[in-house]
Structure 1
């Protein structure tokens, strides 16, 4: 029976690139699907893999092109990637590249764009919880769920417990990113709940973005302190922050360094950091 059509490739190839222009950094996070067609029929019909490129190799090419082209937009990156497959493997007759981009928008403070801090587009779901008894006692809690933000530098993890189970190396320069769940308890009524909720988020983002982070724990406590100082109408704030990990790609097999430019985005397993900060 004839083999009418075939193609194969690699999907779910996630990559984050950092492009540096002086102090200013750009981040681009893509999810790539690369499918190829060509002289591969015998792999299907005769178990002959002599001309077939491994799907793992197809993934590796994405990472190499990412390292060599940190500053290209998604459209240009996908074109360069497709050309790379055709130039490298003559048995490939056509390539189909699909890219889905996770958009990170640059933060601004006091009208000035921040060089290395970002929030996720379409970010977070506001939440409200009300508890009320017939006798008149009530509690009002506002918050946000899935509020994602990132800084591409000015974060570290050093001087922690090390034993025979420890494998993570210390660093003074890493990406710090999270998808935060936060809530705050109202002790008084503000002039505007929406405006004051916005002030709380603006405050915690500014602390996160503009100060060096010795740990997520360090940042969370200082973010909570600042929120309480900025908004006297809340009595406490709770924050739960699962890490969004970006693992540096090992490109040494291809004769390339990484220099903290290309990363694998992943969120499982993740660190889970939580705290509540209240008034004394």
Structure 2
């Protein structure tokens, strides 16, 4: 029976590129699918892999091209990637590249764009919780669910417990990203709930973006302190922040360095950091 058609490749190749122009960073997070067609029929019909390129190699080429081209837009990156496969493997007749981009928008404070802090586009769902018993006063909290933000530098993780089970190395410069669930409890009525909610969220982001983070725990506490200072109408604020990990890719096998330029985005498993900050 004839083999009518075949192709193969690698899907869900996730990569985060950081392009630096002085202190200003540009970020590009992609989910890439690379599919190839060509002289591969014998792997199907004759159990002969002699012309086949491993799917792991296909993935490695994505990462190599990412490291060599941190500043290209997605369209240009995909064109360079397709050409790389064709130039490298003569048995490939055609390449199909599909890339989905996770869009990050640059934060601004005081009208000035921040060089390395971002929020996810189409971000977060505002929440309200109200409880009241008959004859009693209503207890209400507002908040936001799934609000995602990131900075590409100015975060570290050092001086923690190290024992026989510890494998993570210390670092004074890492990416820091989270999808936060936060709520704040009202103790008084503000002049405007929407305006005060915005002020709280803006305050949280500004502390996160503009100060060095010794840990997510360190940032969360200081963010909570600042929110309480900015909004006297709330009595406490609770935040739950799962880490969105960006793992530095080791490209030394390909003769390439990686000075915090190319990362593997992953959120499983993730660190889960939570705290509540209230008035004394």
> What band does the TM-score fall into relative to the shorter chain?
over 0.9
**Following the alignment from structure 1 to structure 2, what is the Cα–Cα distance between the partners of residues 79 and 191?**
53
Provide the residue aligned with 1:146 in structure 2. Answer: 146
Show structure 1 runs of 5+ residues with no match.
Answer: none
Q: Which residue of 1 aligns with 2:45?
A: 45
**Structure 2: distance between partners of 1:125 and 1:240:** 15
Shift of 1:137: 2.2
TM-superposed CA distance for 1:138, in Å, is: 1.3
1:1-280 equivalent positions in 2, closer than 5 A: 1-280=1-280
TM-score (norm 1): 0.99
Match of 1:219, SS state, is helix
Task: Please report how far the alpha carbon of residue 59 of structure 1 lies from its aligned counterpart in structure 2 after TM superposition.
Answer: 0.3
Query: What are the Cα deviations for residues 166-202 of structure 1, in whole angstroms up to 9, with x where unaligned?
Result: 1111110000000000000001111111111111010
| Paired residue total | 280
- Over aligned residues, Cα RMSD in angstroms? 0.5
Q: Deviations over 1:206-262 (max 9, x none)?
A: 000000000000000000000000000000000000000000011011011111100
- C-alpha distance in structure 1 between counterparts of 2:161 and 2:2, whole Å: 62
CA distance in 2, matches of 1:119, 1:137: 36
In structure 1, what is the Cα distance between the partners aligned to 2:8 and 2:160? 45
Q: 1:33 and 1:94 mapped to 2: Cα distance? A: 14
- Give the gaps of 5 or more residues in structure 2: none
Between the aligned partners of 2:195 and 2:101, the Cα distance in structure 1 is: 31
Counterparts of 2:137 and 2:23, CA distance in 1: 52
SS at the partner of 1:217? helix
TM-score of the aligned structures, taking structure 2 as reference length: 0.99
Q: Distance in 2 between matches of 1:192 and 1:9?
A: 54
